[in-house]
Structure 1
Amino acid sequence: MNFKHAVTAPVALCALLALPSQPLMGQSDEKANALLTEAITEGKMAGAVVLITRDGETLYSTAVGEAQSEPSSRPMEMETVFDMASITKPVSTATAIMCLVDQGKIDLEAPVAKYWPAFGANGKETITITDLMLHRGGLIPDNSLRDYSDDQAKNWQNLANLKPTAKPGEKFAYSDVGFQVLGKVVEEVSGQPLDVFVQEHIFAPLKMTESTYNPPEPLQKRAASTEKVGGEWLTGKVHDPRAARMTGVAGHAGLFSTAADMTRYGQAMIQEGELDGVKIFSPATFKTMTTPRKVPRGLRALGWDVNSPYSSNRPTAMSDAAFGHGGFTGTVLWIDPEQKIVFVFLSNRLHPDGKGSVNKLAAEVADTILKTK
């Protein structure tokens, strides 16, 4: 008998038994599934699609609940289309701005009025593109719905005439108005409508084939419902009332997309603006966009939230290099270039009664997966 093996084998076995139990394959998935099911039961959302990838490999993927519960039930599917709400800001508008920066057509430190002269009215002449991208331009969060009508020229004039409530850089105030203005800047500089520009310069190059404003009927039929407005369930039609009054195309809201498309976008950002050999902007532009900057009471990146007091939907497993955003309809996107993670959480928390809540849930689901895989 080999004495060495006779001694070490039992010792090794005892050592193994003394180790803390490790999660079995699938346990984290089951816990994440349970969190989602519980949230549906508690009325936090009607359903959700979650997709988490690391280095291009899927860690977790699920579709739970209903895309629509009233007036009839329709199941949630991985291919369900969502109203992305404020995720429009970074994915569409801020990315479009950075594309134009990369092309040498926009200077981030230039006054907004350089590109849209009407904006300089009423003391706004020194507000820069960067100020608006960081929500430190001194603009109000939203202007009155009474400022909107079918006259789009008048709508823009009302936005241009708004007065600031603070000096640029003086305070942080999350502003839909600021991103509406940035969307207008994209149009003024490019000579194209915002939806056309992002389609040609972002979505088509990245093969995000199901990302669009005002989705056509085939995508509408696959869309998750939000609330009932004017006796009609909003399904494939923008929920944000200001974006709706701006023909469905706005810098702050209006984008529709799927989990798969958001993951493609995230993967392109992990690769510094490139996917499948196609670049939407340079690595230097990517760094400019995503590097955290100081703002009053915290940090922001250009168009993005980072590890800040406002990021309740941010998974704690993410590194400090991560950036992300949420949307009012119950959408969450976080991208971690350091760990090569893309986290997409898309829900219809507003359906059917407008009372759901998912920010903390989203972070908890992601952490359940990321901390065990």
Structure 2
Amino acid sequence: MKAQGMCTEKFEAVKQAFEDMFDDPQERGAGLCVQVDGEMVVDLWAGVADQEGKKPWTRDTLANTFCAVKPYVAVAILMLVEAGKLELDAPVARYWPEFAQNGKAKVTLRQVMSHTAGLPALRTPDHNPMMYDWEHMVQVLAAEPLWWEPGTDLGYGTSTFGWILGELIRRVDGRDPCVFIHEEILTPHDLDVHLGVDEQHFHRIARFDSATGRVGDPYSQALRTVLKNEPAHIATYAFTNPGMVPRRTSDPRWWAYRQPAVCAHGTAHGLAGFYSALMAGHFIGRELLSEFTREHSHGMDRIWMRPMRYGLGCMLEQQRDPTASHAMGPSTFGHIGLGGPISFADPERRVSFGFVTTTSGGHMMIDPRPSRLSSLVYAAL
């Protein structure tokens, strides 16, 4: 399939690989953007945005990015740290006293951001019916007991990350966390990413679907087996209570949902632009950027059930695990979203990368499609 958009001659192999993706008849629509030193070198899109195959994908088509948005709320928190309104090593309960319940009085902001706080999931009852009610969910979180002593184990805060950090933004700034991110990060830099899509933009949203036969790497297969067969496993709670799953993506409530760690809709150029702006010195200063991207935790993650490395709200390069590698330099940082979306940056090569898709694969970590594309970007550099 012929891609639309632009690609400089140096990255022609990237364009060819992007077009080759659509040799698979299950591939419906996708967008790719690569920026070097803030300059666009690849900005491509192809396919369709609807399930009937009649609506062409355009540059402005919005794709569900799921957890790829986590670094945005992390950077928002670091902006408030830089402003003196938060401290990384202060207890969360200093700003949110109710959070101290059930042994959480000493949980620090840094531990939450590095996924070592001991609160990666919510136990029963089923919280899916109330997941769109912010006040209800933060009350649940405030009362939730720890799963382990803070700082002693690693577990990805699938949705708890967004409620905790979002509530801290509300407490110290006064704004809804997604409003803060829009006003302080997205709008000033014209980044086409939406944490809660306005109704006037609903028509731009591509419909999400899954492809058959894409089973994923062994870690992904093992995690899916647990999610299907072990309802009381901590990973099952993390991913299903409430569930951040593809079937929600046709629901207008999800399109408008303001949960700054699990739900966003964006374009590839919007995602890549965020990292270009970050590396150019916007949002936070050099010292906090270094803190954001240095390793704060590593080990076998109890939620992903695989080895992970984290900064302060970003995923770090895993060169020893090809199925979790960004296929660029060792200092690469960013985040994946369920089913294939990803955005990241390589600060050594000054590269920002954004990929969005509506065809969900079987990989829980980095999908082979963007991995192939990023390896070709790296080769071209």
Q: Work out whether 1:299 is the aligned partner of 2:302.
A: no
- Structure 1 unaligned regions, length at least 5: 1-23, 240-246, 275-279
Q: CA 1:235–1:151 in structure 2 vs 1: closer, same or farther (change >3 Å)?
A: closer
1:1-373 to 2 correspondences below 5 Å: 28-29=13-14, 31-38=16-23, 40-41=24-25, 43=26, 45-70=27-52, 73-91=54-72, 93-144=73-124, 146-147=126-127, 148-149=129-130, 152-176=134-158, 177-208=160-191, 210-226=192-208, 234=250, 238=254, 248-272=257-281, 274=282, 280-297=283-300, 298-308=308-318, 312=323, 314-316=325-327, 318-350=328-360, 359-373=367-381
Q: CA 1:28–1:237 in structure 2 vs 1: closer, same or farther (change >3 Å)?
A: farther
Equivalent position SS for 1:67: coil
- Return 144-153 or 362-371, whichever deviates more: 144-153
**Deviation sequence 1:41-64 (CA, Å, 0-9, x none):** 2x3x42210111222333333212
Q: Provide the C-alpha distance between the structure 1 equivalents of 2:331 and 2:247, rounded to a whole number of angstroms.
A: 44
Q: CA 1:189–1:37 in structure 2 vs 1: closer, same or farther (change >3 Å)?
A: same
- Structure 2 unaligned regions, length at least 5: 1-8, 211-244, 301-307
Aligned residues of 2:317 and 2:326 also touching (Cα < 8 A): no
Q: Provide the C-alpha distance between the structure 1 equivalents of 2:22 and 2:136, rounded to a whole number of angstroms.
A: 46
How big is the shift at 1:335?
Answer: 0.6
Q: CA 1:196–1:26 in structure 2 vs 1: closer, same or farther (change >3 Å)?
A: closer
Percent of pairs with identical residues: 23
Q: Provide the C-alpha distance between the structure 2 equivalents of 1:232 and 1:301, rounded to a whole number of angstroms.
A: 29
Q: CA 1:236–1:256 in structure 2 vs 1: closer, same or farther (change >3 Å)?
A: farther
Aligned residues of 2:115 and 2:156 also touching (Cα < 8 A): yes
Q: CA 1:145–1:221 in structure 2 vs 1: closer, same or farther (change >3 Å)?
A: farther
Aligned residues of 1:313 and 1:326 also touching (Cα < 8 A): no
**Deviation sequence 1:109-128 (CA, Å, 0-9, x none):** 11111111111111111111
Q: Provide the C-alpha distance between the structure 2 equivalents of 1:56 and 1:220, rounded to a whole number of angstroms.
A: 29
Aligned residues of 1:50 and 1:63 also touching (Cα < 8 A): yes
How big is the shift at 1:333?
Answer: 0.4
**Deviation sequence 1:197-221 (CA, Å, 0-9, x none):** 112211122222x322221234221
Q: Provide the C-alpha distance between the structure 2 equivalents of 1:59 and 1:102, rounded to a whole number of angstroms.
A: 32
Q: Provide the C-alpha distance between the structure 2 equivalents of 1:307 and 1:99, rounded to a whole number of angstroms.
A: 24
One-letter amino acid of the counterpart of residue 126, structure 1? K
Equivalent position SS for 1:104: coil
One-letter amino acid of the counterpart of residue 114, structure 1? R
Equivalent position SS for 1:312: helix
Asked which structure has the greater CA Rg, the reply is 1
Q: Provide the C-alpha distance between the structure 2 equivalents of 1:301 and 1:230, rounded to a whole number of angstroms.
A: 27
Cα RMSD (Å): 2.9
How big is the shift at 1:329?
Answer: 4.4
Aligned residues of 1:225 and 1:236 also touching (Cα < 8 A): no
- What residue is the counterpart of 1:15 in the other structure? none
Q: CA 1:125–1:367 in structure 2 vs 1: closer, same or farther (change >3 Å)?
A: same
- What residue is the counterpart of 1:19 in the other structure? none
Aligned residues of 2:31 and 2:357 also touching (Cα < 8 A): yes
- What residue is the counterpart of 1:10 in the other structure? none
Q: Provide the C-alpha distance between the structure 2 equivalents of 1:129 and 1:211, rounded to a whole number of angstroms.
A: 25
| Count of equivalent residues | 327
Equivalent position SS for 1:296: strand
Q: CA 1:169–1:125 in structure 2 vs 1: closer, same or farther (change >3 Å)?
A: same
Equivalent position SS for 1:172: coil
TM-score by length of 1: 0.78
Q: CA 1:339–1:181 in structure 2 vs 1: closer, same or farther (change >3 Å)?
A: same
Aligned residues of 1:225 and 1:233 also touching (Cα < 8 A): yes
Q: CA 1:26–1:56 in structure 2 vs 1: closer, same or farther (change >3 Å)?
A: closer
Equivalent position SS for 2:259: coil
**Deviation sequence 1:214-245 (CA, Å, 0-9, x none):** 21234221111125999997177537xxxxxx
